[in-house]
């Protein structure tokens, strides 16, 4: 039976401009991250949820690293391990005397195995029915940030599901397909790129990244709103220029790669309530033939696939 792998791209957001000035800093920070990812690092989430009857329930979930194994020289710095999710499932329980049905919580564990290729800054993982790829991505981000909390430098990481990229014309076409647009949000973060692009940025950051660096801007978000009956005019210069900025983060970074790796996101809501988001683009997936029990073999397979995505 085959297993589907999903992928997350890890970005160091807090110190990105230090890295632009000194590309060797990236490896230093990633080495620190490898040292500090350990068993039992834990993240807890608390939410209020409603069941199908409209009743309110408090939802608590915890996530922790487990079975962490670090493969240094033999696989050029790879971490294989599990993220364990512990949460309550609400099941029906019938009162035999009254016939009344009530929801009662039952503790449940879900386990996702992952392979983190540190220097490629990508994570390969598979999912379970009750622990999906978006939830894993968010939990993994929180866990690695918690693992680096002890440092005064306040390292902060982002994590994005690798998704199908889009070019500028495809983005415009998707936006036009939802009809008259009332709100449009475009967010760009400075890229945490591969070594080749990192060296290009070091030699010439170009206009956008130089401006972001000058202001210590680690995320730029533009929100357009229109109460006019016809909505936003996507071909107007004020809107068009901001969409085009996705293509102009750096001349060596395409809009497809920027969207795929989460450096740029576009979200919109139409007058009729229809929505669009590049965060809903199809995730990049691959398959392995079966569950691989051996840690080194699992890491080798994942590392090979990671290099291709």
pLDDT tens for residues 142-174?
Answer: 999 999 998 878 899 999 999 999 999 999 999
d(CA 81, CA 59): 26
Q: Which of 88, 1, 8, 7 is nearest to 46 (CA)?
A: 88
Mean pLDDT, all residues of the chain: 92
pLDDT at 51: 67
Structure-token pair, residue 11:
């970005």
Q: Tell me the pLDDT tens digit for each residue of 170-216.
A: 999 999 999 999 999 999 999 987 777 777 887 777 889 999 999 99
Q: Which of 238, 241, 214 is nearest to 226 (CA)?
A: 238
pLDDT above 70 as % of the chain: 99
User: In sequence order, what DSSP letters do the residues of 103-120 get, joined into one string?
Assistant: EEEEEEEEEEEEEEEGGG
Q: Tell me the pLDDT tens digit for each residue of 34-54.
A: 999 999 899 999 888 776 667
Q: Tell me the pLDDT tens digit for each residue of 83-139.
A: 999 998 877 777 777 777 777 778 899 999 999 999 999 999 999 999 999 999 999
Mean pLDDT computed over 78-82: 98
pTM confidence score: 0.89
Q: Which of 308, 262, 253 is nearest to 283 (CA)?
A: 262
Structure-token pair, residue 233:
């005019």
What pairing do the DSSP bridges indicate for beta strands 78-94 and 56-71?
A: antiparallel
Q: Tell me the pLDDT tens digit for each residue of 19-33.
A: 999 989 999 999 999
Q: Which of 163, 269, 258, 164 is nearest to 224 (CA)?
A: 269
pLDDT at 114: 98
d(CA 80, CA 209): 34
pLDDT above 90 as % of the chain: 74
pLDDT at 287: 93
Calculate the CA dihedral of residues 233, 258, 34, 124 and round it to 10 degrees.
100
């Amino acid at each position: 039976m085959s297993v589907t792998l999903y992928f997350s791209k890890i970005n160091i957001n807090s110190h990105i401009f230090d890295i632009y000035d000194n590309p060797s800093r990236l490896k230093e920070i990633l080495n620190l991250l490898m040292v500090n990812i350990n068993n039992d690092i834990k993240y807890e989430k608390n939410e209020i949820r409603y069941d199908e009857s409209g009743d309110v329930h408090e939802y608590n979930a915890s996530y922790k690293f487990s079975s962490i194994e670090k493969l240094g020289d033999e696989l050029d710095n790879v971490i294989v391990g599990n993220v364990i999710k512990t949460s309550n499932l609400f099941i029906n329980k019938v009162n035999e005397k009254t016939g009344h049905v009530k929801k009662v919580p039952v503790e449940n564990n879900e386990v996702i195995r992952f392979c983190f290729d540190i220097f490629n800054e990508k994570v390969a993982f598979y999912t379970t029915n009750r622990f999906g790829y978006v939830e894993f991505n968010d939990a993994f981000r929180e866990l690695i940030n918690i693992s680096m909390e002890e440092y005064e430098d306040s390292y902060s990481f982002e994590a994005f599901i690798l998704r199908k990229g889009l070019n500028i014309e495809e983005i415009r076409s998707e936006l036009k397909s939802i009809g008259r647009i009332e709100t449009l949000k475009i967010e760009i973060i400075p890229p945490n790129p591969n070594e080749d692009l990192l060296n290009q940025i070091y030699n010439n950051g170009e206009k956008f990244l130089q401006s972001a660096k000058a202001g210590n801007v680690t995320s730029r978000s533009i929100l357009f709103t229109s109460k006019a009956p016809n909505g936003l005019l996507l071909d107007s210069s004020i809107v068009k220029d901001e969409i085009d900025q996705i293509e102009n983060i750096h001349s060596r970074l395409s809009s497809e790669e920027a969207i795929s790796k989460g450096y740029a996101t576009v979200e919109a809501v139409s007058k009729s309530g229809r929505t669009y988001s590049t965060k809903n683009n199809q995730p990049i997936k691959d398959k392995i033939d079966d569950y691989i029990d051996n840690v080194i073999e699992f890491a080798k397979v994942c590392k090979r696939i990671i290099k291709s995505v």
